């Protein structure tokens, strides 16, 4: 059975990346992309949707407010929250509203593929459980393994956070050389992390002209609010 997904993300670059990722996972199809809470409501009225891939920070209201209004209106659509928010109070509130997974930005295709695969496994479970063990197995399908890796080999979470924070605070953007100096790592290492952010849809790159020699790439955060 094909799982129909509505991507809700206000950043156009990130929205396109998320839709591309979902389309690459067998068994999933993107039926629409919305850039606001109002667009999401209209999309849900027009199409059958099984799963919302939902950013929590939207220009016209918090994503959980959208989920709450959908539940009040009788919508049972499942939700995977895609966000940089790490507030556990928000996580608890999301769970109470039926958010089945959280994916923290920035993330790789492999991370989202794993979460979607686990959701599909959970959704496919049907019939009456024979006992507690079977119920536990069905719920465990939604949980990521403890040793799951969400970053390419050689990249670390703390360094990624440092590079991400530096880039977000830079305003006009940074070259790999500038990012390396700010974080205290080599230029080659900084470039790997910056390229990872580009792949994840959280940064864009463009050549920086006006200097002698080969132009250097400049990286810019695509959204200062997330």
Q: State how beta strands 216-221 and 203-208 pair.
A: antiparallel
Low-confidence ranges of the chain (pLDDT < 70): 85, 125-131, 133-151, 209-214, 223-226
Whole-number pLDDT of residue 141:
63
pLDDT for residue 140: 67
Q: What residues contact residue 95 under an 8 Å CB cut-off, 6+ apart?
A: none
The helix (run of H) or strand (run of E) holding residue 80 is strand 78-83
Q: 77-95: per-residue pLDDT in tens?
A: 999 998 876 777 777 887 7
- Burial degree of 172 (CB within 10 A; 0-12, 13-18, 19+): exposed
Enter the tokens of residue 156: 């670390």
Q: How many helices (H) and strands (E) does the chain have?
A: 9, 10
pLDDT at residue 138 in the model: 62
**SS3 for 205?**
strand
Specify the pTM. Answer: 0.61
């Amino acid at each position: 059975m094909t799982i129909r997904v509505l991507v809700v993300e206000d950043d156009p670059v990130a929205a396109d990346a998320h839709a591309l990722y979902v389309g690459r996972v067998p068994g999933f199809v993107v039926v629409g992309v919305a850039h606001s809470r109002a667009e999401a409501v209209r999309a849900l009225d027009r199409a059958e949707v099984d799963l919302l891939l939902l950013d929590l920070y939207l220009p016209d209201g918090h994503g959980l407010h959208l989920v709450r209004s959908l539940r009040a209106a009788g919508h049972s659509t499942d939700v995977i929250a895609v966000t940089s928010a790490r507030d556990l109070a928000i996580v608890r509130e999301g769970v109470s509203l039926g958010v089945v997974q959280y994916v923290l930005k920035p993330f790789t295709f492999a991370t989202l593929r794993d979460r979607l695969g686990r959701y599909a496994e959970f959704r496919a479970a049907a019939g009456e459980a024979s006992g507690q063990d079977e119920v536990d197995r069905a719920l465990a399908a939604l949980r990521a393994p403890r040793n799951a890796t969400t970053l390419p080999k050689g990249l670390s979470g703390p360094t990624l956070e440092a590079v991400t924070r530096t880039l977000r605070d830079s305003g006009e953007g940074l070259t790999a050389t500038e990012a390396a100096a700010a974080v205290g790592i080599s230029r080659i290492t900084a470039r790997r992390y910056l390229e990872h952010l580009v792949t994840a849809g959280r940064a864009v790159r463009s050549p920086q002209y006006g200097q002698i020699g080969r132009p250097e790439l400049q990286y810019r955060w695509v959204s200062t609010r997330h």
